[in-house]
Amino acid sequence: MNFHVMTLFPEMIMQGLGTSITGRAMQKKLIQIEAVNIRDYTLEKHGQVDDYPYGGGAGMVMQAEPIYRTWESITNRIGKQPRVVYMTPQGSVFNQSMAEDFAKEEDLIILCGHYEGVDERVLDMIVTDHVSIGDYVLTGGELPAMVMIDCISRLVPGVLNNNDSAEFESFHENLLEYPQYTRPEEFMGRRVPDILLSGHHANIEKWRHEQSVKRTMERRPDLLQEK
């Protein structure tokens, strides 16, 4: 899967995703991430990419032209026009099922905004999906883009070592993950639950499922209402 990130801070994207599981997935060519600097596509003399808002008001607005030209360069190069996700607090709130939907795409273009916003005309022209990562305010779309790319990459076949681990983790069937334990059997007087030492796989599976349901009821009852 190929992620094409349109941003004013390309180094932030590449540094943030260059390590750990996403970094390894890039090395293995299972995913490809390119961060394209919108500033490289401005036609203004001093590299300007933003300007004052028409009608007045605080802050600056990202201009349409450099964003359009960045998009044009990417789409001409790859010879197709994939979905374009604009990261914005005004979008639909990202979740696991949106990740599963995006993971079906071969290419995805992600637009990161900054300042007070982006000229609406270029959004109308190129954006297919508006996505937020939650109800709080961030400085720009870069961190949200990284969150989304991390989450989608985990669903690309081969990215996780154990092919099973993605589907059994938190949010599988809208349940939180059961508690985990490793050595030693006793830590500061606290013992690992006996059932996990019993070797009785059917009972262990039943216990884990019960723990998942209990935990979800206690911590995220809202998940049990969904679907």
Provide φ and ψ at 111, rounded to 5°.
-105, 120
Count the helix, strand and coil residues of the chain and give each as a percent rounded to the nearest 5: 40, 20, 40
Q: Does 54 bind ligand 6GU (CB under 6 A)?
A: no
Q: Which is nearer to ligand 6GU, 54 or 136 (CB)?
A: 136
Tokens of 148: 């989304």
Which C-beta is closer to ligand 6GU: that of 134 or that of 179?
Answer: 134
Distance, CA of 138 to CA of 195 (rounded, Å): 44
| Minimum gap (Å) between residue 131 Cβ and ligand 6GU | 6
Residue with the two structure tokens 């884990």: 208
Q: Considering the rule CB under 6 A, would residue 16 count as an interface residue with ligand 6GU?
A: no
7 is a contact residue toward ligand 6GU (CB under 6 A): no
DSSP annotation of 156: S
Angle at 132 between CA 127 and CA 136, to 5 degrees: 145
Q: Comparing C-alpha atoms, which of 150, 33, 145, 128 is closest to residue 84?
A: 128
Question: In terms of CB distance, is 66 or 141 closer to ligand 6GU?
Answer: 141
Binding flag, residue 117, ligand 6GU (CB under 6 A): no
One symbol per residue from 62 to 91: x for binding ligand 6GU (CB under 6 A), - otherwise; what is it? -------------------------xxx--
- Applying CB under 6 A, among 137, 189, 194, 222 the residue interacting with ligand 6GU is 137
Can residue 140 be called a binding residue for ligand 6GU (CB under 6 A)? yes
* C-alpha separations of 63 from 47, 70, 116, 125 in Å: 12, 12, 11, 13
Beta carbon nearer to ligand 6GU, 25 or 62? 62
- CA 145, distance to chain mean position in Å, is 5
- What's the closest the beta carbon of residue 185 comes to ligand 6GU, in angstroms? 43
Alpha-carbon distances, residue 180 vs 204, 211, 216 (angstroms): 12, 11, 15
> Which of these segments, 24-32, 67-75, 138-146, 188-196, binds ligand 6GU (CB under 6 A)?
138-146
User: Could you list the residues that contact ligand 6GU (CB under 6 A)?
Assistant: 87-89, 132-134, 136-138, 140-141, 144
